[in-house]
Amino acid sequence: MSNKLNGKVAVVTGASAGIGLAAAKRYAAEGAQVFITGRRQSELDKAVAEIGNGVIALQGDVANMDDLDRIYSAVKAQAGRIDVLFANAGFYELGKFGDISAEHFDKTFNVNVRGLLFTVQKALPLMPDGAAVIMTGPIASIKGFEAFSVYNASKAAVRSFARSWIVDLKPRNIRINVLSPGHTQTPGLDGLLNDDIKAMLAAGTPLNRIDTGDDMANAALFLAPPESSFISGIDLFVDGGYAQI
């Protein structure tokens, strides 16, 4: 590795599996002091063993304000600042229009919108000028998928947040970008789609496959260090071209 993040402090939410885990591994391998969060301690323990490099796990739910305060208090005590925040924690479940419940709506928006907002806002006092924020906002923000209307809408909010926050944070030169994966091979996708459907999605992607964790980690690394210092407010699609056709 090239130690692109040597001396940096990174926080990755929702990092016990999937995209967050892949990004945390890459950040740690590139020299960052990495803190990861997740709701399940057992999964965090597995992630710590897999990541290594002195990663620190902080259990908590981003939809819980007390948990966020506790997480950031720990980061402050142990590292003093946050140079890179990858706000990746998210929630999804099917909810067909006509049968959507208030509980389904609240669970989705509490994590993907409310939780995201306060994940970033509560981190601001720990972020030096010029820090980087990356938020996960899949292609669902611009595509229509059956039984995913609430999830899709919650991810459209992520894109809107980025556009507004870069203006609010202009005096501090804090960069905020959205990383939008396509259909990514994660444990969550395995629970949602069978191999035949994944093969169909791969065939419908211009680059003839679905995303991997490494694809997303590469993009998350690009948006973090000085190489992307003049990139802010973008929605970077890492989907093999799926959302463009």
* 216 phi, psi to nearest 5 deg: -75, -40
Yes or no: say if 77 and 122 are a contact pair by the CB < 8 Å rule.
no
Q: Is 218 inside any structural domain?
A: yes
Q: Is 67 inside any structural domain?
A: yes
Question: Which residue among 27, 72, 92, 151 is the active-site one?
Answer: 151
Tell me: the pLDDT tens digits for 141-192?
787 788 889 999 999 999 999 999 999 999 999 999 999 998 888 776 666 6
Residue 27 designated active-site:
no
Q: Is 2 inside any structural domain?
A: no
Q: Is 156 inside any structural domain?
A: yes
Yes or no: say if 185 and 167 are a contact pair by the CB < 8 Å rule.
no
> For the chain, what is the domain count?
1
CATH of the domain at 39: 3.40.50.720
Q: Is 3 inside any structural domain?
A: no
Query: Once rounded to an integer, what is the mean pLDDT over residues 112-141?
Result: 95
Yes or no: say if 23 and 37 are a contact pair by the CB < 8 Å rule.
no
Rounded to whole angstroms, the Cα distance separating 82 from 133 reads 10
Q: Is 4 inside any structural domain?
A: no
Range of the domain at 19: 9-244
Q: Is 1 inside any structural domain?
A: no
Q: Is 57 inside any structural domain?
A: yes
Query: How far is the CA of 36 from the CAs of 24, 103, 106, 130, in angstroms?
Result: 7, 28, 25, 21
Tell me: the pLDDT tens digits for 89-119?
999 888 999 999 999 999 999 999 999 999 9
pTM above the 0.75 mark?
yes
